[in-house]
Structures are given as C-alpha cells and as structure tokens.
Chain A
Amino acid sequence: MEPVTRVSGGAYPWGAKNVDTDVIIPAHWLKTITRAGLGKGAFETVRAEPGNIFDDPRHAGSPILIAGDNFGCGSSREHAAWALGDMGIKAVIAPSFSDIFSGNAFKNGIVTVVLPQEAIDRLIEVAQDQPITIDLETMTVTTPFQDRFTFTLDPFRRQCLMQGLDEIGLTLAQDTAISKFESGLATRRPWIARESGYASIAVEGAGRT
C-alpha cells in the first residue's frame, strides 16, 4: 500500500447525509472479480442528474470528499472503497461513518476524517473554490483561510496509513500467538475444529430445514 501522510487538493463540497454503499457503487457493478476500474460506476445514480457535483468541472478529480452523517452506511461491500479509490479519492471528511465503511476505507489507504458538523459546514463553504489539506502528521484539516480543525484517528490505523503497511503481513508476524491460541482452542472448545469434506454431509438423514 502507498504510504499517506497528507492529502491536499480540491474537495467535493457535497455534505449529503446517510450516503449508502448502493449510492457509492450500485450493485450491478459488483460482478467484477478484480479491484480496478470501479471508478466509472462510482455515484452512478447521482451522476445521472444534470449539474451534479461529481461532474462539475470545478471539482472533478478532487482527492477529498466532504459528506454528511453516517457516510458509507448499508452493505459491507468493499467495492465502495475501491470505487472511491479508483475515482481518485484519498480522503473522506464527514461527521460520522458507518463502522464497516471506515474499516474498508482504511484497508484501501483511504483516510476517513471525523469532524463536527460546524467544521463540515465551514469546509463545504471553503471547498467551493479553495483546496483543503489533511495532515496525518499534525492530525489537522486546514484551509487557506487559517481554519484549523484537529481530528483523531486510531493510532494503529494512523501508523499503517503513514507507513503504507500491509495488515495481513503485520498479523502473520504474530503467527506464534495465533498457533498458541489454536492449540488451546483444541482442548478448550474441541467442537470448533471441523472435518473438511462436505460430500459427507448426511442431509437426507437430517430431514429438516
């Protein structure tokens, strides 16, 4: 993953609340088996409306999206994060995010910044024609007008983002701990381990649903 220390540039001054993952990427885009190319489907239903913010030449290609409460609610589809990433978005600022979405965003190197509604309102005003800067070093969002909003981020996520660390590699470094847990599990809860081989399922014998 690419390290991210700061995201600076234009922002879509959107502010829409409860933007769900069906809006971010409609379901018919989910049939792909690779991660690339989903930017074309991002916000498809919004973009179908004339004069929408995403096709506005003043904002097109911005690395930041400003949204309202509960951004990314709905399904767990990570395609939402891939679609944002593929359309060039590196950070989303909102008063709150759905838990699943912010996790997915993080794993794809997209920064989710939580700021109070007043700050969002101000940033929407500024972003009409000015750039915004998100700095993970100082944990601030700043504007050319001396606005300065601080935010917090889970320290582990911050470190991973800033160093571009791959989470699976980090976890596999704990292999001993996992193996130890597993051998304990085999005695504590021996019913968890399963025999593989689904052909042996005696469905007829079960006789119920």
Chain B
Amino acid sequence: MASRPQTLYEKIWNAHVVERRDDGTCLIYIDRHLVHEVTSPQAFEGLRAAGRKVRRPDLTLAVPDHNLPTTARVDAAGKRLPIADPESANQLAALERNTAEFGIDYIDATAPEQGIVHVIGPELGFTLPGTTLVCGDSHTSAHGALGALAFGIGTSEVEHVLATQTLLLSQAKTMEVRVEGSLGYGVSAKDVILAIVGRIGAAGGTGHVIEYTGSVIRALSIEGRLTVANMSIEGGARAGLIAPDEATFAYIKGRPMAPAGENWDKAVAWWKSLPSDPGAVYDKTVVLDATDIAPSLTWGTSPEDVVPITGTVPDPASFADAAKRAAAQKSLDYMGLAPGMRMQDVGVQHVFIGSCTNSRIEDLRAAASVANGRHVADGVRALVVPGSGLVKRQAEHEGLDRIFVAAGFEWREPGCSMCLAMNPDKVPPGERCASTSNRNFVGRQGPGARTHLLSPAMAAAAAVTGKLSDVRELMSNGRE
C-alpha cells in the first residue's frame, strides 16, 4: 500500500486500532498498564460490583508510590513498620488485596524494585517502544521518552482497561517541538522542558500529542528524555513522544521485563520502523534554539510561568491580556513575590529533589556534584528522595547518599513524597520550596505552599545557598 509519510504517533496509533467507528473514534488496544494505590481502588470496586475480571493480568503491573511515607519501611530486624496514617494504610491494603484477588503482579512497598510508577516502568523494562501504555496518573507521558504512546487516565478508564484491555479514543493532533543546537553550560533536560512549557503555554498542547525532535533531544540520555516527556502534560499535551533510537535500545536491553532472545531481535526490527517518516506532516511545529535556554525556574503557580535564573519576577502589568494580568497578580500574591525582584534574591526554606521528573540516578548525580563538600544552609530543610529502590541502591553504591547526608540533606525511601501533598512530606503554609517536581499549582506541595520548579542541580544550589541560585556560579567556583 503506497501511503503518505506517517508520524511516530500515527504509526503507533494505527498498530493498535481494534476497531474504527463511523464517528472516527477508535477502540485502541493497550499493551501496558501500570496501577498504583490512589487511582485504582474504585476501579477494582467497579469490577467486583459488575462481576468482571482483569482481561490481561500479564500486561498489568502494580506498585504503591503516591502516599507511601518515605521514612524507613522496615525496622532494624527487617520487620515491616506500620503506616501511621490510617487512610494511607487502607489504600495500600486495598491495592495488596485487589492485586492478589485479580492475579496482578504487585511490587510490595518493601521490595527493592518499589518506586514511582514512572520510574520503575522504564527501569524494569516494562515500558517498551511502540507500545500503548496507560496509568492513572497524568505524568504517564514520561514513558513517551522511550517511544511508547503513554498517557494518564482516570479511574473509570483504569476500570475499562482492566476489564477490556482497550480504550475508546479519538486520534489527537500532532505537534512537533524541535529543539536544535546544543545546550549551554549548566543547562539540563529540566531546563529544556521548562523552556518548552514556558514557550507553548500550559494549554499550548491541548488536543495534541507532542513529538520532541532535534539535535538537543537526540543528544539527551534516556533519563533526560524521561524528564522532558514527563512534563508534556504541563504543556497541555496528553502524551509526548521521542523516537526510539540506538540509545533507547541500549537502555532497554537486558532489563528484567524486556524481551530477550528471538523476541528481542523481532522487537528491535519493528522499533526501527517507528520513527516519523521524512516528510511526515505535523499539525503544528514549534522550534526552540538551545542557545536561548538558560538554567530556568518558575516564579508563579502555573508551569508556564518560567524565567531564567538570571531574570526577575515579571510585572503583571506587562501582560497584554487582562485575564493573564489578573492571574499573574494572583500568582504573585500567593507566591509572596513582588514585580521586579531578582529571582536570585528569593530565599527558600525547603528543597525537594525527587519525583518522577527528576529522581533517577543521573539527577541524583547532578545534585550530589553540587552538594559535594558544601552544606545545606541554615533554616533550610532539604530532602533527597530516590525514584526507586534500585536508584537508591545504585546511588548508595556510588556513595551519593554519603555526600548528601554529609551535606545535611535527608536521604529517604522511594516514593512520590513532596511532589504532592498526600503523604507526610509536605511544605508548610507560606513556606517556599525549590522543587525538582513537575507542578507548582496552588497547594500542590501542601496548603499554602510556594513552589519553584527547577532542575536537580539548581535545587542543590538552592539548598546550599538558602536561596534560588544560578548553579553555574557554584559549578565554576573552582570545582568543575
């Protein structure tokens, strides 16, 4: 069949159509389903009520992460410690019960593989290129870094996938975000995605699936790509894709759940056919020049409120649109900032290095290289929360934990932690946090908490200086 050039998204979509309806919506087969404790109990409740079973337990994997405390989970004798909050304990028990009842693989809270869903999926080789992957969490877009069409779903959809292994979807538009050039000194994947969201806006990708292309994206490690794809949803896109390449295959090969032997060869052959064809057309294209991207952070309560660290708090009056002006003023009031303030003059009381955006080994290495030989400033509480037990072990193997602890950071157990104010790790009202997570919404890190999103190295810089700081100055300061 002679066909027009297709994008990566179209290829994955077409390979998963079970049935196309007259109105254009398609029943799409789901290859991979990640389940966690917060968005699944009501789905299992629904299955049970209707007497339905899980269609493909083998394509489903469950792990607790969202409200699991990040303090020690077993005592010195290896005995499991109880969870203090009864509601959290209840959700965890429900997940354990439900996965046992429905025959789903479950990674226990105390298992070495436990971690944030979006960290463990790629890490265990559960996430594969060209798959459709869903999870009841909006940052599922992260898995797109490996070339999986991955997106967050709500609990009714979780139930639908559990029962049918499909979803009824309409095809999205495509948006190419091309980042060309090479990144400057001290600029990381997080700065790239902050710059992108700042450029397209928090609703810029609505209705679209983004494909990230260009030399900067190609040069990123898989960890860096995961950081970028993770925040696609902050730009309004349900999913973000990066074409699989040799780096992707090298990352996946040999992981515990990855295909092996003959299947591996077949898989790679298919994966190689996935990248967008030359001449494929996107509905929208946005191009960014890497030389314009500085170490960046957010000043407001929307992830689009991005400035370079060398910048100042914007004046609401400078926004053309009246609604934006009002929103900016509201953000500044909430954030306790005044127009014209230098970002670098803003003090912080909390630093959070973690979340599915930035809790992988590379992120911890970047933060540790800044923390090494320095100390957390007085009045600052700094948390390092590895994304998974495997990341934690690896970091400990490299001695990163000792660097952090010597510098006065807390070294915690894996989980979502301070990314969302659901477990005991919260930012108190009115206090300010430099955070490597993905959301700076009102109340996200605790009622009244003020969040600045930034990279792991920038977060470490904020921890040791006690204020938002340009990490480049610390890097050049006779050290690196």
A residues apposed to B, CB below 8 Å: 17-18, 20, 22-23, 26-28, 30-35, 45, 68-70, 73-79, 81, 96, 98-100, 103-104, 107-108, 154-156, 167-169, 171-172, 174, 177-178, 181-182, 185, 189-198, 201-203, 205-206, 208-209
Contacts and interface: CB of A to CB of B under 8 A. Distances in A.
B155 interface: yes
Contacts of B442: 20, 22-23, 45
A98 B27 CA distance: 21
A206 B255 contact: yes
A70 B447 contact: no
A143 B170 CA distance: 32
Contacts of B23: 154-156
Those 7 A-B pairs whose CB atoms lie nearest each other, nearest first: A78-B154, A191-B259, A31-B87, A33-B41, A76-B152, A107-B156, A104-B154
A201 B266 contact: no
A75 B420 CA distance: 11
B206 interface: yes
A192 B33 CA distance: 12
B93 to A, nearest CB: 9
Interface of B: 15, 18-19, 21, 23, 25, 27, 29, 31, 38-39, 41-42, 45-46, 50, 52, 55, 57-59, 61, 66-67, 85, 87-88, 90-91, 94, 103, 105-107, 112-113, 123-124, 128, 130-131, 136-138, 140, 152-157, 159-160, 163-166, 168, 170, 202-203, 206-207, 236, 238, 254-257, 259, 263-264, 266-267, 270, 302, 323, 327, 360-361, 388, 390-391, 393-394, 420-422, 439, 441-444, 447
Contacts of B57: 196
B29 A76 contact: no
Contacts of A78: 39, 42, 136, 154-156
Nearest to B394: A209
B388 A198 contact: no
B323 A68 contact: yes
Nearest to A204: B112
Nearest to B158: A78
Contacts of B163: 168, 171-172
- Choose among A22, A27, A68 the residue with the greatest number of B CB atoms under 10 Å from its CB: A27
A191 B128 contact: yes
A73 B203 contact: yes
Contacts of B107: 198
A46 to B, nearest CB: 10
- Choose among B42, B91, B106, B137 the residue with the greatest number of A CB atoms under 10 Å from its CB: B42
B105 A178 contact: no
B58 A193 contact: yes
A31 B90 contact: yes
Contacts of B155: 78-79, 104
27 contacts: A17-B327, A26-B421, A28-B421, A30-B67, A31-B88, A32-B87, A33-B42, A70-B202, A70-B206, A73-B203, A75-B152, A76-B137, A78-B42, A78-B154, A99-B238, A100-B238, A154-B170, A168-B52, A174-B27, A177-B19, A178-B29, A178-B164, A189-B267, A192-B128, A197-B105, A198-B61, A209-B123
B91 A33 contact: yes
Contacts of A77: 38-39, 154
Contacts of B393: 209
Contact of B42 (A22, A34, A103, A205): A34
B97 to A, nearest CB: 10
Contacts of B106: 198
B25 A181 contact: no
Nearest to A75: B138
Contact of A191 (B255, B263, B323, B394): B263
B87 to A, nearest CB: 4
A167 B27 CA distance: 12
A167 B168 CA distance: 9
Contacts of B66: 30
B138 A76 contact: yes
B301 to A, nearest CB: 9
Contact of B152 (A17, A32, A100, A201): A100
A25 B106 CA distance: 28
Contacts of A181: 18, 29
Contacts of B394: 208-209
A31 B287 CA distance: 41
A18 B439 CA distance: 14
B465 to A, nearest CB: 29
Contacts of B85: 31
- Choose among A17, A81, A155, A206 the residue with the greatest number of B CB atoms under 10 Å from its CB: A206
A20 B391 CA distance: 32
A68 B46 CA distance: 32
A103 B21 CA distance: 18
A30 B38 contact: yes
A205 B236 CA distance: 39
